[in-house]
Structure 1
Amino acid sequence: MAEILLHPGAGAPEASVQQLPHNIQAEAALLGALLLDNRLVEDVQLKLRADHFFEPLHGRIYEAVLRLTDRNMVANPVTLRPLFEADEAMKQVGGPTYLAQLTGSGAALIAAKDFASQIYDLALLRSLVAVGRDMVTGALDTSEDVRPLDQIERAETELYKVAEAGGGEGKVKTFADASKEALLIAEAALNNGGKLSGITTGFTEVNARMGGMHRSDLIILAGRPGMGKTSLATNIAFNAARRLLQDLADGIPAERSAGAAVAFFSLEMSADQLATRILAEQSNIPGTQIRTGNMNINEFRDFARIAGELNSLPLYIDDTPGLTIAALRTRARRLKRQKNIGLIIVDYLQLLSGTSKSGDGNRVQEISEISRGLKQLAKELHVPVVALSQLSRAVEQREDKRPQLSDLRESGSIEQDADMVWFIFRGDYYLAAKQPADDHPDFAAWQEEMSRIYGIAELIIAKQRHGATGKVKLKFDARITRFSDLVEEGYAPEFD
C-alpha cells in the first residue's frame, strides 16, 4: 500500500494519542477497500459508524462513502474528490490526492471485515477510557454536593451504553429462526393446558384470553385511585414468583417455566408495606391487624409460618423514590444479570422522571420518553414489563365510570408504546358513594344492586396486540386486598 501521509489524531499531542487505543493504518486500509469495492459497505455499515474512526478525517470519508452508496452512486476517489477539496484536514495531507493513496493496494480487500472489527473494538476501548476518566474526574471533584451513589448510577448507565454498543450489529433472523421461536411458544402453551405461553398472571380467565404476559411486551395497568391497581400488581407478582418456585421444585427449568423471578419497582409504597400486603393476602389476616398487632396468638403463628414459607420467594422490591427512567433501566439490568428476573413491575409510571435536564416543564414529552424507555427495556431484557398508570379525572365526570384509552394521563405515547392496556374497574366502589339513608325509598334498590356487584371487579382489556379486547370479571376481597378468579354460575368472559 502507498505510504499514508496522514498524522494520527488530527494534530493531537503525541502523548495523548499514545494513551488512546487506535490503529490509523487499519482505518486507512478499510477505507481503501471500500473505495475499491463498494459492495463491502453492506458488510460493515450495520456495525461501524463514522464516529468509530479515531482520525476525524477518516470518519468523514467513511460517512461520504455511505451517503453516495445509499444513493446508488459509485464511491471512489474521483466521485469523492469534490466533497473534500475545501476540507482543511485533507489539505494538510496533500489534498484530495490522498483519496487515491488510500486505494494504493488491493490487499486490504481480503481483510476488510477484520479491519472493521478491529476499528470497532478499539472505539469501544476508547469509550471505556472516556467513562473511566469521567468517573475519576467526578470522584475527585468535591466542589459541588457530593453524591457518590448518583455517580455510581451514572457510571453504570454509561458502562451499559458501551456494552449495548457492543451488540450493535443488526440481529437479522431468517424466517426459519422466527418460525422456530413461534413453534416453541405454541409448544409451551400446549404443555400448559393450551392457555398459557407467557408468564402467568395467576388468573385463569385472564391467562386464557392473552396466553399470559408475553416477553418483550409493555403492559399498562391503569385505574382511578381506590380501584386496586397496586393490589392487582402485587397479586400478579406473587403468582408469577410462586409459579416459578413450584416449577423448579417439579424439575422444570426456569426458561421453560410459566413463572418468573420478579423485580417490583415501588415508587409510592415502601418495601415493608408491599410485603405486608402480600402476607395479608396469603395469611387471610387484614393488613390493618398486621400493622397494629391486633392478632391473637394463633393468628400470629399462622402469619409467622406464612412469612417463613415465603422467604425463598424470588420477588425483589426496589422502593427507591424519585427514580429516573435511566436509573430504573440500570437497576433492572443489574437484577436481570444477578437474579435472572423474568418480569418487571413499575408502580407507577407517573412517578418516574425523564433524563432531560432542560427543566422546560414539558410533561407530555417526558412521559413519552418514559413509556418509550419502558418498552425498550422490555425488548432489551426480553421480559414483560407491567407499568401501573394513573387515569385522568375525566372518568369521574361520566355516568359510566368504566375507563377508556383516552383517560390515560398524558395518554398519546403511553397508548402507542403499550402492547396491552388493562383497566381495573370496581362498580361497588362508586355505588358505595351513592348509598342513600336507610329510610330512603331508594335504599332497597341500592342494597339489591350492591349485593349483586359487591366484591366483583372488571379487568378491561382495552388494547391487545395479540388478540381481542374485552373484559374479565375477578373477585376482589377488600379486607385483604386480594384478587382471585370469579366462580359465577353462567358467567363467561366478554370479548370483542
Structure 2
Amino acid sequence: MSVTAEKAILGTFLEHQYLLKDTILNTHHFEEARHRRLFDTMKQLTNDGKMVDIVSLAMAADIAELGGVSYLNELADYANEQKFEQYEQLVLDSWKEREKKRILTVAAQENWPIDRITSELDKLNQARLDDYSSITDLAAEIYDAPWTPIEQQRGVPTGIMKLDRMINGFQDAALNVIAARPSMGKTDVMIHLAKQAGWQGYLPIVFSLEMPRSMIRDRLIASVGNFNRTKMRDLYRGLSDEQKKRWTEVIGRVSQTNIQIFDGAGQTIAEMRAKTRKILHRFPEKKPIVFIDYLTLIRPAHFYGGNAHLQVTELSRSLKEMAKEFNCPVVTLAQLNRSVEQRSDKRPMMSDIRESGSVEQDADIILFLYRDKYYNKESDDDTLEIIVSKNRNGPVGTVKVRYNEHTGVIDDVYHS
C-alpha cells in the first residue's frame, strides 16, 4: 500500500507540477530510496522555476537512479489530481507507522522511560505544524494594538451597504449559507455577490451543480446589462437597437468580474478543492471567494446508507474545512424544506433548512431570502428581504433590496 501510494503521488506531481508547492510531504516521508531521490529532484526543479517532466528529470539526475524512463512513464499512469490529498495522507500515514515501529524498537533496545516514548509518539501527530500557536505569541502580536491606528479589516463586499455593515463582508475562513425556497432568487443573489466581489478585485470561483455554465453566463449578462432574460434566448431578435449599442460595454463589464465557473454535476468537495487549488495557481495574486449552487447537490464522500442527515453533516463540516484551508469565504446556497409553507408567516427559520442541525452549527453566517411576491402573485412589491439569521461575530436582522426577477438585477435602494 505504501509503495503504491508513493507511486500515485509522484505520478500526480509529474502530471500536475503546481501541487509540489502545496504538499506537506518531505523527502524522508517516502519509503523507497528512488522515490526519495525523485521527489527531491522534483522539488529542486520546482524551486529553480523549471519544468518537471521526464526530460528535465533526466538532465537533473541520473535517470537510472530514478527508475528509468519506463518507470517514470509508469508513474504518470497513476496520476489523479482529484485524489491528491488522499494520496498525500496515505504516504504520511505509512511514514507514521514506520516511525512508530522504529521508535518502539529503539525504546525497547535502550530502555527509554515511558514519558520519552509518549513524547516521541506525540511528535508523529505534529507533521503539520502550521496550525500551532502559543497564546503568548498571539498576545504579543496585538500588544501595541490599543495605541496603533490600523485600517479597518473588511471582508469581501456584498455591494449591499446595510448587509456589509452587519456582517462586515464575507470573512476569510468562514462558511456562509444562503437558504431559500426554490425560485426565491438564490442564484441571482449568488451572481450578484460574485460579480460584486470580482469588480472589487477578488477571484469568484463558482461551482454550479444545477445550472450549466451557459445559463450562469446568460444570467450574469442579463443582470449586468439589465436585459430581460427571455431576450437572451435569441439576442439577434430579442435585443433592441439601443441595447445592441451597449452590448460591447456590457460584455466588457461582465469580463471584468473574472468569475471562474465549474458546472460539472455531482462534484465532491475533494474535487472542488483540487479545482480551486488549480485556479489559485493560475491567479496567485488574487484572493478567492468560493460559491456553490447548491449544498445538497454536492456528492458526499460516503453514502451512509442513504441517511441524508449524515450526508449533510459531512458536507457542511467539509465546506468549513475548505474555507479554513484556503483561508477564504465559502458561500453555499441551500434549499429549505416545505415546512415553511405550512406557517402563516412564511419567513424562514433555522429549522427550515434541510437537515439543518449540522448546517446551523458549522455556518458562520446564515442568510435567508424572502419575497412577499413569491406567495402573492398579484403583488407588485419587488422587495427582497435578506434575513441575517445567524452572524457569529455580529448582529442579526433584516436587509431589504429591490429585486427584478426578470433581469436578476438587485438594487441596494434601502441604505438606512
**2:229 corresponding residue in structure 1:** 287
Contact 1:216 1:378 in 2 (8 A): yes
1:298 aligns with 2:242: yes
Contact 1:200 1:212 in 2 (8 A): yes
1:218 aligns with 2:175: yes
Q: Distance in 2 between matches of 1:186 and 1:268?
A: 46
1:167 aligns with 2:128: yes
**2:27 corresponding residue in structure 1:** none
- CA drift of 1:50 comes to 9.2
- CA drift of 1:468 comes to 1.4
**2:401 corresponding residue in structure 1:** 474
Q: Distance in 2 between matches of 1:303 and 1:237?
A: 21
Contact 1:262 1:316 in 2 (8 A): yes
Contact 1:264 1:318 in 2 (8 A): yes
**1:307 corresponding residue in structure 2:** 251
Alignment deviations for residues 53-101 of structure 1 (CA, whole Å, 9 cap, x no partner): 5266335x29xxxxxxxxxxxxx97xxxxxxxxxxxxxxxxxxxxx243
**1:81 corresponding residue in structure 2:** none
- CA drift of 1:418 comes to 0.3
Alignment deviations for residues 306-353 of structure 1 (CA, whole Å, 9 cap, x no partner): 103432432111111110122112212222333244211101001001
Secondary structure, in 3 states, of the residue corresponding to 2:305?
coil
Equivalent of 1:273, from 199, 211, 215? Answer: 215
**1:327 corresponding residue in structure 2:** 271
Equivalent of 1:264, from 202, 206, 210? Answer: 206
- When residues 178 and 237 of structure 1 are mapped into structure 2, their CA distance, relative to the original with a 3 A threshold, is farther
Secondary structure, in 3 states, of the residue corresponding to 2:376?
helix
Alignment deviations for residues 428-461 of structure 1 (CA, whole Å, 9 cap, x no partner): 21111xx4xxxxxxxxxxxxxx35xx11111001
Q: Distance in 2 between matches of 1:17 and 1:431?
A: 69
1:3-42 maps to which residues of 2 (within 5 A)? none
- When residues 372 and 359 of structure 1 are mapped into structure 2, their CA distance, relative to the original with a 3 A threshold, is closer
Contact 2:268 2:298 in 1 (8 A): yes
Letter in 1 for 2:230: T
Q: What's the RMSD between the two structures over aligned residues?
A: 3.4
Secondary structure, in 3 states, of the residue corresponding to 1:200?
coil
- CA drift of 1:266 comes to 0.6
Secondary structure, in 3 states, of the residue corresponding to 1:353?
coil
Contact 2:210 2:293 in 1 (8 A): yes
Percent of aligned pairs sharing the same letter: 28
When normalised by structure 1's length, the TM-score is 0.59
Alignment deviations for residues 261-299 of structure 1 (CA, whole Å, 9 cap, x no partner): 110111111112111111111111112112222112331
Structure (1 or 2) with the larger CA radius of gyration: 1
Q: Distance in 2 between matches of 1:369 and 1:285?
A: 40
- When residues 336 and 179 of structure 1 are mapped into structure 2, their CA distance, relative to the original with a 3 A threshold, is farther
Letter in 1 for 2:155: G
Secondary structure, in 3 states, of the residue corresponding to 1:320?
coil
Contact 1:222 1:423 in 2 (8 A): yes
Letter in 2 for 1:291: R
1:462 aligns with 2:389: yes
Letter in 2 for 1:456: T
Alignment deviations for residues 159-186 of structure 1 (CA, whole Å, 9 cap, x no partner): xxxxxx9634542144554674796999
Letter in 1 for 2:273: R
Q: Distance in 2 between matches of 1:471 and 1:207?
A: 12
Letter in 2 for 1:425: Y
Contact 1:462 1:469 in 2 (8 A): yes
Q: Distance in 1 between matches of 2:93 and 2:182?
A: 48
Contact 2:179 2:336 in 1 (8 A): yes
Which structure carries more relative contact order (alpha carbon 8 Å, separation 6+)? 2
- When residues 175 and 222 of structure 1 are mapped into structure 2, their CA distance, relative to the original with a 3 A threshold, is farther
- When residues 312 and 474 of structure 1 are mapped into structure 2, their CA distance, relative to the original with a 3 A threshold, is closer
Alignment deviations for residues 232-259 of structure 1 (CA, whole Å, 9 cap, x no partner): 0100000010011xxxxxxxxxxxxxxx
Q: Distance in 1 between matches of 2:137 and 2:32?
A: 47
1:367 aligns with 2:376: no
- CA drift of 1:21 comes to 5.6
- When residues 218 and 456 of structure 1 are mapped into structure 2, their CA distance, relative to the original with a 3 A threshold, is same
Secondary structure, in 3 states, of the residue corresponding to 2:384?
strand
Equivalent of 2:333, from 388, 392, 396? Answer: 388
Contact 1:335 1:341 in 2 (8 A): no
**1:486 corresponding residue in structure 2:** 413
Q: Distance in 2 between matches of 1:409 and 1:318?
A: 24
Contact 1:263 1:341 in 2 (8 A): no
- When residues 296 and 55 of structure 1 are mapped into structure 2, their CA distance, relative to the original with a 3 A threshold, is closer
Contact 2:220 2:254 in 1 (8 A): no
Contact 1:268 1:347 in 2 (8 A): yes
Contact 1:428 1:455 in 2 (8 A): yes
- When residues 421 and 17 of structure 1 are mapped into structure 2, their CA distance, relative to the original with a 3 A threshold, is closer
- CA drift of 1:187 comes to 3.4
- When residues 181 and 218 of structure 1 are mapped into structure 2, their CA distance, relative to the original with a 3 A threshold, is farther
**2:290 corresponding residue in structure 1:** 344
Query: Where do 5+ consecutive residues of structure 1 fail to align?
Result: 1-15, 23-47, 63-75, 78-98, 104-108, 121-164, 190-195, 245-259, 436-449
Q: Distance in 1 between matches of 2:141 and 2:156?
A: 19
**1:187 corresponding residue in structure 2:** 150
Contact 1:346 1:386 in 2 (8 A): yes
Letter in 1 for 2:385: E
Q: Distance in 2 between matches of 1:186 and 1:427?
A: 45
- CA drift of 1:486 comes to 2.3
Contact 2:158 2:193 in 1 (8 A): yes
Q: Distance in 1 between matches of 2:240 and 2:341?
A: 41
Letter in 2 for 1:226: S
1:197 aligns with 2:154: yes
Secondary structure, in 3 states, of the residue corresponding to 1:187?
coil
Contact 1:217 1:384 in 2 (8 A): yes
Contact 2:400 2:414 in 1 (8 A): no
1:101 aligns with 2:47: no
Equivalent of 1:410, from 345, 351, 355? Answer: 355
Q: Distance in 2 between matches of 1:315 and 1:305?
A: 17
Letter in 2 for 1:57: K
